[in-house]
Structure 1
Amino acid sequence: MTPSKFPTRAGLLLFYLVLTAAIATGLALFSSASTIIALFRDATAGLLLPLILSLIATFLLEPLVKVIERGGRSRTTSIFVVFFLVAIAMALSALWLAPHWQQMWGSLKTDIPRYTSGLITFLRSAQNDLRQHLPFIDSYDLPARARALAEQLVSQILVQTPRSALRLASLLFIVPLFSFFFLRDGQRIMRAIIALAPNRHFEMAHDLSYGISRQLAHFIRGRILEAFIVGLVVAIGLSFTDIRYAPLLGVFAGVTNLIPYIGPLIGMIPGILIALVDLGLGGEFWWIVTVYFLIAQVIVDGFILIPVLISRVSNLHPLWVILAIIMGGKLYGVLGMIIGVPVASIIKITILEIRHYRRTFTLPEVAGDGERIL
């Protein structure tokens, strides 16, 4: 008799038990991994920003530390000298700027309701003008939406300001502490990490760490310098008009410029709205628009800073930059949008370096009996 081609009941039962056990094991592993990842994210949620700021400070201060170290001082002494100089510079800047910024911030909180009402009036007038040509605009209550958005923004500012002050105080303690250890022991930490790599991958790990460090250093220094120059150009350009809060608008434009593509657009919004409410659609308003779009972004940033400081460093396709910004924003908000591009650049360097070493140093394959194929 020929054996039956259909499985027996015992075989079906065994298959069902194995499949059920496999599914249950997979779900348990997935649940455990998700729980571990969630716990890890909760534990490191407050450390991400201090670590990033500490790394930025490390890359910015490293050249100055090396210059002082060449004068015959020890590494630790050089770091303390740099910290002392930075503390003096920050203290003098704070003493000079504190009265102006305090007065400007108090005036801004008073003027926000006026700017909100002026914006709503302008939107209502614009909607009435467009209603004749675009009837479907009747279904969109632009003034009400603008009022709700403005009220939400004001409430966020009032609620977050004390929290931001407390967080800033903690950062002023944590960031210098982390930066000190990164500057003093950074090379030792990197050597210890590279030493964990197997002998066959040691050279690749060494070159990879060197390439990533150099890429991050150039990228961070370039982006900080770019943001500073753009903010300075905006502040100087706005100072030729009667617009209020020109220094604050310049700082905001410089900080938001750190976010690729959409950051410059966000940085223009407050200045244009304030000019629209205070100055109207006159010559000064169009000069402010020219400062933001043509001078700061097109000429200074597009034609000078990006080709010189950024393009040769990031070397990423615009599509990957957009994806990095979106994914970073989904994970960590504005901070993720800022660090998304350097993280994507590090991933690209890692992939290219591994591919290069696999092609250049191909190791002999191992046959099935354990003998090498020569």
Structure 2
Amino acid sequence: MKNLKNINQILFFIVIVAALLYFGSNFLIPFVFGIFFATLLTPLSNLIERLWDKRVISSFLGTLVVLVVVGALLFVFVHQIRLFVSDLSAINDEVQTLIKSLQNKITETTSLSLEEQMNIWHSRSEGFVSSLESGLTSFLENTLNTTAGFFLVLVYVFLLLYYRNKIFESILMYVKKKNKEEAKEVLKGISHVVYHYLWGRIKVMSILAVMYYITFLIFDIPYALMLTIFGALVTIIPYLGPFISGVIPILFSFIYLDNVQMALLFSVIIVIEQLIESYVLEPLIIGHEVKMNPLIVIIAIVLGSAIWGLAGMILFVPIFAMIGIISNHTAELRPVGYLFGNSKKSV
């Protein structure tokens, strides 16, 4: 009976947390983004503070870095999306040309006539381009609507950097005096691992972006900047992101390149770059310090998508990583940390 009561309490707690996350998403999403950006910029802010000894200046300059970098990426990406949307009619012509080439090959190998294929492909390609144009327009509008949320993130970044010592000390107030030194080490360890994960992820995405952009230029793929920015950023979503990142450029290659052999060569290079990103860069740069059980990663993505949408797919993986780190340093929660981790050895 006691065990049943404990299980009910745990389930009730999970439901309450899920409800708070869902209904508090408007506040929590920009705030969590602010926490991650502030954690990433804390070393820079500390360096600036040693030079000027002014917390407000170091916090402002750290926030300015986020504004310049993210703002520049957003501006270039939105501009490229606008050009892409305006050129969709030309893209439709390229698609029709590709379809005609495929139709001739299908006619040679099957009994379908050109007229029958034309009716099938023409209707479907028109619907595809129409849906694509509608989806991109909606995406562009949503991107512009998130600008206000981005400025709220900047406010959080500045305030979190400015009050970081006070926040740190307020957390320690909940810890008994005899455990304060250990608690400090745990908090510093968590901050280090989160920083290591975020900065490592940025470096991996940057290297992948350079490889992508060079490849796109060599093969003369249009909208190279748009594909590069999108392809690099989307890889922040584990498993699903790299797949999307590779498929979209490959589709572009079959539309724009002159022959199938070049498109296949391009596809092979993109796949190789994806393998380098997943099996060389990530283990080398990010390492195994923040590796999680693949099952937990998938659960984090699914839950994040259900509760916070796209933002949840991005944020819930590092959030779950933080939960795993905290659990490993808390005696009562070590089974959770063991479950979250990628180690096969028991605690």
Q: In structure 2, do the counterparts of structure 1 residues 288 and 131 end up closer, same or farther at CA, with 3 Å as the change threshold?
A: same
Residues 234 and 250 of structure 1 are in contact (CA less than 8 Å); yes or no, is this contact kept in structure 2? yes
Aligned to 1:14: none
Q: Does structure 1 residue 182 correspond to structure 2 residue 152?
A: no
Q: In structure 2, do the counterparts of structure 1 residues 42 and 340 end up closer, same or farther at CA, with 3 Å as the change threshold?
A: closer
User: How far did 1:336 drift?
Assistant: 2.2
Aligned to 1:104: 83
Q: Does structure 1 residue 53 correspond to structure 2 residue 27?
A: no
Query: 1:318-363: per-residue Cα shift (whole Å, max 9, x none)?
Result: 33333333333333333222223222222222222113999xxxxx
Alpha-carbon distance between aligned partners in 2 of 1:104 and 1:320, rounded to the nearest angstrom:
39
User: How far did 1:266 drift?
Assistant: 0.4
Aligned to 1:193: 171
Aligned to 2:141: 162
Residue 46 of structure 2 aligns with an amino acid whose one-letter code is K
Q: Does structure 1 residue 314 correspond to structure 2 residue 290?
A: yes
Query: 1:19-65: per-residue Cα shift (whole Å, max 9, x none)?
Result: xxxxxxx9xx97x9969964x44652223332233223213322221
Alpha-carbon distance between aligned partners in 2 of 1:74 and 1:305, rounded to the nearest angstrom:
37
Aligned to 2:275: 298
Alpha-carbon distance between aligned partners in 2 of 1:182 and 1:352, rounded to the nearest angstrom:
26
Compute the TM-score of the two structures, normalised by the length of structure 1.
0.70
- Pairing 1:328-343 to 2, within 5 Å after superposition: 328-343=304-319
SS in 2 for 1:238: helix
- Pairing 1:1-374 to 2, within 5 Å after superposition: 38=19, 40-41=20-21, 43-84=23-64, 101=80, 104-111=83-90, 113-114=92-93, 151-168=130-147, 170-199=148-177, 202=180, 205-279=183-257, 281-294=259-272, 296-299=273-276, 301-355=277-331
SS in 2 for 1:58: helix
Query: 1:70-120: per-residue Cα shift (whole Å, max 9, x none)?
Result: 1142111222344456656778x58x9599747734544444544665677
Q: In structure 2, do the counterparts of structure 1 residues 154 and 349 end up closer, same or farther at CA, with 3 Å as the change threshold?
A: same
Residue 241 of structure 1 aligns with an amino acid whose one-letter code is F
Pair member with larger Rg: 1
Alpha-carbon distance between aligned partners in 1 of 2:45 and 2:69, rounded to the nearest angstrom:
16
RCO comparison, higher one (Cα < 8 Å, 6+): 2
Identity %: 25
Unaligned runs of 5+ in 2: 1-7, 112-119, 335-347
Q: In structure 2, do the counterparts of structure 1 residues 84 and 337 end up closer, same or farther at CA, with 3 Å as the change threshold?
A: closer
Compute the TM-score of the two structures, normalised by the length of structure 2.
0.74
Aligned to 2:340: none
State the superposition RMSD in angstroms: 4.0
Aligned to 2:341: none
Residues 230 and 245 of structure 2 are in contact (CA less than 8 Å); yes or no, is this contact kept in structure 1? yes
SS in 1 for 2:30: helix
